[in-house]
Amino acid sequence: MVSAGCKAEFGTAPTKAGTVAALQYEMLAASPYRHTSEDVIFGAYEARNLPDTADLGAERAAFFAKPQACLRASPLVKTYGWGLHHDAMGRVALAAVESPVYAAFLEQDGLDIVAGMRSKRA
C-alpha cells in the first residue's frame, strides 16, 4: 500500500536515471515477481556504489550485516504512487495506485495490507 502521505494519484515511473527510485522501478517493472525485497534493495545499492569487479556475495553479506530500510521506505511507495505486492515466495511486483489490481489487493480477504512509511511526521 502506498504511504499515507503519498500525493501521487497515478503510479509514475521515476524520471531521474540512477536514483534509488529509478533503479528499484527498473528492476520491478522489468521482472514482476522475480526479485525479493532484499534483491531490490541490494540491487539499487550495487548499481550506485559497487564497482563491476566487486565480489557480490561478500558485498551483499556485509551490506545486510547492518540494519537496512525495507521497501516500505522506498520512494516508489512514498512519492511515485506504487504499491508493492509480495507473493508467497517473498517476490515483489508493482501495482499502480489507480489500477484495478491495486484495488483488488486492498479488498482481498486474508491479505496483509501494510502501508508504506510516511515521509514526514504528522
Residue 62: predicted pLDDT = 95
Q: Which residues of the chain have pLDDT under 50?
A: none
Q: Which residue's C-alpha cell is 512509511?
A: 117
Q: Is the pTM of this model over 0.85?
A: yes
- Cα distances (angstroms) measured from residue 22 to each of 13, 27, 83, 100: 7, 9, 15, 23
Nearest-10 crossing angle of helices 56-64, 37-49 = 110
Other Cβ atoms within 10 Å of 109 Cβ, number? 4
pLDDT of residue 81: 96
Of the candidates 115, 53, 49, 119, which has an alpha carbon nearest to the alpha carbon of residue 84? 115
Q: What is the pLDDT of residue 121?
A: 57
What confidence score (pLDDT) does residue 4 get? Answer: 87
Cell numbers at 14, concatenated: 521515476
* Residue-level pLDDT at 53: 81
Query: Which is nearest to 82 in space by CA: 69, 95, 71, 100?
Result: 95
